[in-house]
């Protein structure tokens, strides 16, 4: 099992209660004990980005740790957080230590220990872990949540030298940027969002209020007064930052991390702010060579395993209109018929991602050959854009979506007319 959501939950707890405490993080080497049976998440990998020393132990071994020697104790979901286990963990914590427990219930701290408790449930199923954090002592400062890149997954910018020439190419009939230009022109969004701002060129296209989410953009163009940038990862923005600036989304562009768990979370989070007339575009869904579609970067042209979002949405969300678009260089997925109240992906996130990572290991030929593609220059696109713009926000939007479903099932309309 890939405990993606469990690792995310630990990141959230650490950012809320540990990384924002200067006495624990400035010049101090954080001492961390991870209590687990070996069948749960590999929490140690989360700590590699901070100045820490961690040890993973069995529940019976916690008594061997010196009293008051740990800054943080983490009890994983494969351990029963009994009263005895909680007391044992408290005994090894420093006077201002922090105990984080992931379980299916809310454990109780010892009444003898002064503490502050934070309890919340993970939004991701099927585990829906309850995360309980006990902050011992009375000197902990109430500080803003840490939104730095300290625990972020590193971006894969490097790749092996001497990659064969046949690997390094794209495909498509229209540049993905030009497709985005067409979308802005024809659907006239009232609010636009994007994940992955980079140089700011795509954000600049929006003639409406807009929000870009990127922890480290390399802006080469000025940002309009009505455009905002959240300098956070998308995970941190949706789980930890202030989302009050997020309005109902008409158009969204997702071009973030190139691994399926991030792309799917980005889609799920964005859909919460969408409506039936929204348009979501996911970039990089069509590797032109199998090597481009690997989870670990092996080439300059690299989509990662974002391609997996196509079969995932087709299988688990048949209510959506899923249209792979033949853009250059690595394809774009256009998704229509969004439903912010649909919980299917949230309820089954753990098993969906586990299957995607462990079973969907080879890029299908249908992805490489783009057998389901829609030509971005086909007249069909203009018809779709017109229907969205005309019926968006109206009761007639449901009928317009039915009309779009009828249109896309006509194979001849997928292609552009010969010139």
Give the distance from CA 409 to its chain's centroid. 31
Cβ proximity of 144 and 369 under 8 Å: no
Report the CATH number that the domain containing residue 71 is assigned in CATH: 3.40.50.150
DSSP string computed for 193-251: EEE--TTSHHHHT-SS-EEEE-SS----SPPPTTEEEE-S-HHHHHHTS--TT----SE
Asked if residue 179 and residue 131 are part of one domain, the reply reads no
Would residue 293 count as lying in a domain? yes
For residue 74, pLDDT over 80 is answered with: yes
Rounded to an integer, the average pLDDT of 228-251 is: 94
- pLDDT (tens digit, 9 = 90+) per residue, 128-137? 999 999 888 7
Show Cβ contacts of residue 418 under 8 Å, excluding neighbours closer than 6 positions.
none
Asked if residue 230 and residue 106 are part of one domain, the reply reads no
Would residue 142 count as lying in a domain? no
pLDDT of residue 307: 98
For residue 188, pLDDT over 80 is answered with: yes
For residue 37, pLDDT over 60 is answered with: yes
pLDDT of residue 398: 97
Give the distance from CA 35 to its chain's centroid. 27
pLDDT of residue 139: 58
pLDDT of residue 48: 85
Would residue 419 count as lying in a domain? no
**Reported pTM:** 0.94
Rounded to an integer, the average pLDDT of 84-92 is: 91
Domain count for the chain: 2
Would residue 213 count as lying in a domain? yes
Q: How confident is the model at residue 140 (pLDDT cuts 50, 70, 90)?
A: low
For residue 157, pLDDT over 80 is answered with: yes
For residue 270, pLDDT over 90 is answered with: yes
Asked if residue 206 and residue 123 are part of one domain, the reply reads no
Percentage of residues in the chain with pLDDT exceeding 90? Answer: 78
For residue 396, pLDDT over 70 is answered with: yes
Asked if residue 102 and residue 208 are part of one domain, the reply reads no
Show Cβ contacts of residue 154 under 8 Å, excluding neighbours closer than 6 positions.
none
C-alpha angle 403/416/334, rounded to 5°?
A: 50
Rounded to the nearest integer, the mean pLDDT of the chain is: 93
- Least confident stretch, 55-69, 360-374, 404-418: 404-418
Torsion-angle region of residue 283: left (phi > 0), alpha (psi -120 to 50) or beta?
beta
Asked if residue 188 and residue 108 are part of one domain, the reply reads no
- pLDDT (tens digit, 9 = 90+) per residue, 295-329? 999 999 999 999 999 999 999 999 999 999 999 99
What's the DSSP call for residue 374?
Answer: B
Domain of 400? 174-414
pLDDT of residue 114: 61
Cβ proximity of 183 and 281 under 8 Å: yes
Asked if residue 204 and residue 127 are part of one domain, the reply reads no
Would residue 148 count as lying in a domain? no
Q: Hey, is 269 helix, strand or coil?
A: helix
For residue 138, pLDDT over 70 is answered with: no
For residue 163, pLDDT over 70 is answered with: yes
pLDDT of residue 49: 81
- Give the number of other Cβ atoms within 10 Å of residue 229's Cβ: 18
Helices (H), 18-68: 22-25
pLDDT of residue 113: 66
Would residue 84 count as lying in a domain? yes
Asked if residue 123 and residue 198 are part of one domain, the reply reads no
Q: How confident is the model at residue 2 (pLDDT cuts 50, 70, 90)?
A: low
For residue 347, pLDDT over 70 is answered with: yes
- CA separation, residue 328 to residues 34, 59, 77, 101, 132 (Å): 46, 53, 44, 46, 46
- Give the number of other Cβ atoms within 10 Å of residue 34's Cβ: 23
Q: Which two tokens stand for residue 65?
A: 């740790």
- Alpha-carbon distance 120 to 63, whole Å? 28
């Amino acid at each position: 099992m890939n405990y993606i959501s469990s690792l995310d939950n630990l990141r959230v707890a650490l950012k809320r209660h540990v990384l924002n405490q200067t006495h624990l993080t400035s010049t101090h080497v954080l001492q961390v004990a991870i209590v687990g049976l070996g069948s749960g998440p590999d929490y140690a990998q989360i700590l590699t980005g901070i100045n820490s020393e961690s040890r993973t132990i069995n529940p019976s071994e916690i008594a061997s740790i010196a009293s008051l020697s740990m800054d943080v104790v983490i009890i994983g979901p494969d351990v029963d957080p009994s009263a005895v286990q909680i007391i044992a963990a408290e005994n090894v914590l420093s006077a201002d230590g922090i105990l984080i427990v992931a379980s299916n219930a809310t454990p109780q701290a010892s009444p003898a220990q002064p503490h502050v408790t934070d309890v919340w449930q993970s939004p991701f199923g099927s585990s829906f872990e309850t995360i309980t954090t006990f902050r011992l002592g009375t000197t902990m400062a109430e500080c803003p949540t840490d939104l730095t890149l300290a625990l972020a997954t590193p971006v894969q910018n490097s790749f092996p030298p001497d990659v064969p020439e046949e690997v390094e190419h794209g495909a498509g009939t229209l540049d993905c940027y030009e497709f985005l230009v067409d979308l802005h022109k024809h659907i006239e969004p009232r609010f636009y969002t994007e994940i992955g701002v980079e140089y700011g060129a795509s954000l600049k296209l929006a003639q409406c209020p807009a929000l870009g989410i990127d922890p480290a953009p390399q802006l080469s163009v000025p940002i309009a007064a009505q455009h905002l940038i959240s300098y956070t990862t998308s995970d941190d923005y949706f789980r930890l930052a202030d989302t009050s600036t997020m309005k109902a989304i008409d158009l969204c562009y997702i071009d973030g991390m190139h691994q399926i768990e991030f792309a799917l979370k980005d889609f799920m989070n964005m859909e919460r702010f969408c409506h039936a007339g929204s348009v979501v575009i996911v970039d990089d869904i069509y590797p032109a060579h199998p090597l481009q579609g690997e989870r670990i970067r092996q080439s300059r042209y690299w989509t990662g395993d974002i391609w997996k979002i196509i079969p995932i949405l087709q299988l688990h969300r048949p209510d959506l209109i899923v249209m792979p678009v033949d853009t250059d260089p690595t394809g774009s997925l256009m998704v229509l018929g969004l439903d912010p109240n649909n919980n299917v992906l949230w309820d089954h996130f753990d098993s969906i991602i586990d299957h995607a990572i462990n079973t969907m290991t080879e890029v299908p030929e249908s992805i490489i050959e783009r057998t389901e593609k829609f030509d971005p220059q086909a007249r069909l696109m203009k018809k779709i854009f017109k229907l969205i713009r005309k019926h968006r926000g109206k009761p007639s939007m449901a009928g317009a979506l039915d009309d779009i479903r009828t249109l896309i099932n006509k194979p001849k309309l997928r292609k552009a007319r010969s010139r």
